[in-house]
Amino acid sequence: YTTLFRSRSEERRVGKSVPSLIHPPTGCPFNTRCPFAKDICRQEIPYLKEKAPGSGHLTACHLVDSGEI
């Protein structure tokens, strides 16, 4: 599978910082633990979209939508 992280250990670090369910972050629910988060990620929730037409691969990321990653 494809990953944005350089190593499996880096990928695991992102997953260990779970935000509060009582006081979730604004915007994307991953913005507090994503190393690529930008201002838009902290302000708006991204919509779930198909990454490429007909691919069946769904993503909800502002940076994927903008082509940055």
Residue 49 has phi, psi (to 5 degrees) of -140, 160
Q: What is the pLDDT of residues 47-68, one digit of tens each?
A: 998 887 888 889 899 998 787 8
Q: What is the pLDDT of residues 14-39, one digit of tens each?
A: 555 677 889 888 999 889 888 899 99
Contact status, residue 58 vs residue 49, Cβ threshold 8 Å: yes
Query: Taking the model in full, what pTM does it have?
Result: 0.66
